[in-house]
């Protein structure tokens, strides 16, 4: 697409009789007109249980969105895996003018039967439903922004790849590879997780490592053979404290020992425990310290305090921290789009992970939180601010107009 010099605002092109009206104004009008249709689509999408791995529900929502995307002229491919189908839809496939990625997830954290118990409803300014903000509204925002710009004949001439995956809530085991494949040659990526504080834009998500530690000692009778015993629980407790103390709040390095288990008889403490295990997570902001932190964690295997105990640590960073500086250029484009609508977009860091981490790990400038404003995420009270559904649709349509 051509850009004019008028603060990125394009004139009518393709809009007969509306040449004077700026594109942001036209988009706003369309987005408002489509609010009802967006809510109807959301109502349908949240009526199905789509907990990660729920193939039946996944099939339904994938069917609905496939039809919509095909109506936009996209070629839709379904990448099927053990948790359901991932939608990979392409508009302007293989365009020589570049490529962008859009991503939202269709799975939720809710069990079968819950959608019927907590159906879609509108109360005042809010729309309720399970998974409505995380992340079905994200998919609806992305889709309607594309639809509006397509109708205005103002979609970028680039290849537009839309990925609606089915396994984000469990770490994207099957869709990770799709991101890797589609990240090749992509200029920008847009992730439609729900909007948050001040409707800002996420330019950086922290990294998250999930680990398990096991300790083997020597299990003996605590009275008769105490001295031969090697207490795995005590060894593990030492490691738990060391991990806890690795936390550096000022660096946003958080180490969380989340569960421990050891010994084998809580009713009669007769045995000296020979086995213990725990789970812990490591969250960090700065990509540059990840390797070092991983080394420090692994080094605990060799810091035995009870001779004869053996410590084994397994795990990895499932979310790689995003490099903020890679995403600032794209954030500027979003800010400019916001300005055209008269809104300021703050920059946000969050310690939680999403598919933005996966996509950004392949070097694609990525921004996140482009979905609708959320309340009660992952609870049965989940809802969105309806006005933000419209505002975010407008925002992304305006972003598309600047690419
Ligand atoms: Zn999500």
3-state secondary structure labels for all residues of 162-230? EEEECCHHHCCCCCHHHHHHHHCCCCEEEECCCECHHHCEEEEECEEEEEEEEEECECEECCCCHHHCE
From CA 384, how far away is CA 136, in angstroms rounded? 11
Sequence-distant (6+) residues with CB within 8 A of 340 are 7, 8, 9, 22, 23, 24, 398
Determine the distance separating the centroid of ligand 1 and the alpha carbon of 134, expressed in angstroms.
4
pLDDT in tens, 198-222: 889 999 999 999 999 999 999 999 9
Note the helical H segments in 311-350.
Answer: 324-341
Question: Who surrounds ion ligand 1 at CB < 5 A?
Answer: 134-135, 193
Determine the distance separating the centroid of ligand 1 and the alpha carbon of 27, expressed in angstroms.
26
pLDDT in tens, 339-378: 999 999 999 999 999 999 999 999 999 999 999 999 989 9
Residue 261's alpha-carbon distances to 229, 265, 274, 287, in angstroms, are 18, 11, 12, 31
- What is the pTM for the complete model shown? 0.87
Determine the distance separating the centroid of ligand 1 and the alpha carbon of 135, expressed in angstroms.
5
Determine the distance separating the centroid of ligand 1 and the alpha carbon of 205, expressed in angstroms.
13
From CA 239, how far away is CA 303, in angstroms rounded? 9
389 with 38: CB under 8 angstroms?
A: yes
Determine the distance separating the centroid of ligand 1 and the alpha carbon of 302, expressed in angstroms.
38
Work out the angle at residue 389's Cα, subtended by the Cα atoms of residues 73 and 20, and round it to the nearest 5 degrees: 70
In the chain, what are the domains? Answer: 23-205+322-402 (3.40.630.10), 207-319 (3.30.70.360)
Determine the distance separating the centroid of ligand 1 and the alpha carbon of 133, expressed in angstroms.
8
Three-class secondary structure of residue 58 per DSSP: helix
135 with 102: CB under 8 angstroms?
A: no
Task: Give the phi and the psi of residue 13 in degrees, each rounded to 5.
Answer: 0, 105
Q: Which residues of the chain have pLDDT under 50?
A: 1-20
pLDDT score, position 2 = 40
Determine the distance separating the centroid of ligand 1 and the alpha carbon of 292, expressed in angstroms.
29
Determine the distance separating the centroid of ligand 1 and the alpha carbon of 99, expressed in angstroms.
24
Determine the distance separating the centroid of ligand 1 and the alpha carbon of 193, expressed in angstroms.
5
Sequence-distant (6+) residues with CB within 8 A of 367 are 189, 190, 191, 201, 202, 203, 327, 330, 331, 334, 356
Determine the distance separating the centroid of ligand 1 and the alpha carbon of 105, expressed in angstroms.
7
Determine the distance separating the centroid of ligand 1 and the alpha carbon of 210, expressed in angstroms.
18
pLDDT score, position 266 = 67
Determine the distance separating the centroid of ligand 1 and the alpha carbon of 183, expressed in angstroms.
20
12 with 18: CB under 8 angstroms?
A: yes
Determine the distance separating the centroid of ligand 1 and the alpha carbon of 104, expressed in angstroms.
8
Determine the distance separating the centroid of ligand 1 and the alpha carbon of 358, expressed in angstroms.
13
pLDDT score, position 199 = 84
């Amino acid at each position: 697409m051509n850009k004019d010099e008028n603060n990125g605002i394009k004139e009518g092109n393709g809009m007969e009789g509306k040449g004077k009206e700026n594109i942001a104004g036209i988009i706003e009008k369309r987005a408002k007109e489509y609010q009802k249709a967006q809510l109807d689509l959301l109502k349908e999408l949240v009526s199905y249980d789509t907990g990660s791995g729920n193939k039946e529900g996944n099939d339904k929502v994938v069917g609905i969105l496939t039809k919509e995307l095909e109506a936009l002229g996209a070629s839709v491919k379904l990448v099927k895996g053990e948790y359901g189908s991932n939608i990979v839809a392409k508009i302007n496939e293989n365009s020589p003018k570049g490529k962008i990625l859009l991503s939202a997830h269709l799975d939720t954290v809710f069990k079968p039967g819950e959608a019927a118990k907590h159906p879609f409803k509108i109360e005042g300014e809010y729309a309720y439903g399970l998974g409505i903000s995380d992340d079905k509204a994200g998919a609806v925002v992305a889709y309607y922004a594309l639809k509006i710009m397509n109708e205005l004949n103002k979609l970028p001439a680039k290849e537009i790849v839309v990925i609606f995956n089915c396994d984000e809530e469990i770490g994207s085991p099957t869709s990770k590879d799709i991101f890797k494949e589609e990240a090749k040659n992509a200029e920008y990526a847009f992730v439609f997780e729900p909007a948050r504080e001040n409707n800002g834009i996420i330019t950086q998500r922290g990294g998250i490592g999930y680990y398990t530690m096991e300790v083997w000692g020597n299990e003996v009778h605590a009275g008769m053979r105490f001295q031969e015993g090697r207490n795995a629980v005590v060894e593990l407790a030492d490691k738990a404290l060391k991990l806890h103390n690795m936390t550096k709040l000022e660096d946003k390095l958080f180490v969380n020992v989340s569960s421990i288990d050891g010994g084998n008889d809580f009713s009669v403490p007769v045995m000296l425990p020979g086995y213990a295990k725990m789970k812990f997570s490591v969250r960090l902001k700065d990509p540059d310290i990840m390797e070092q932190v991983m080394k420090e964690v692994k080094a605990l295997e060799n810091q035995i305090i009870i001779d004869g105990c053996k410590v084994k640590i397994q795990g990895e960073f499932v979310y790689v921290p995003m490099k903020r500086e890679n995403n600032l250029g794209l954030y500027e484009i979003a800010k400019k789009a916001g300005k055209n609508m008269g809104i300021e977009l703050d920059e946000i860091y969050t310690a939680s992970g999403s598919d933005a981490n996966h996509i950004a790990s392949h070097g694609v400038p990525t921004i996140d939180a482009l979905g609708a404003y959320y309340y009660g995420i992952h609870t049965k009270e989940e809802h969105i601010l309806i006005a933000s559904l419209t505002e975010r649709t407008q925002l992304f349509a305006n972003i598309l107009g600047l690419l």
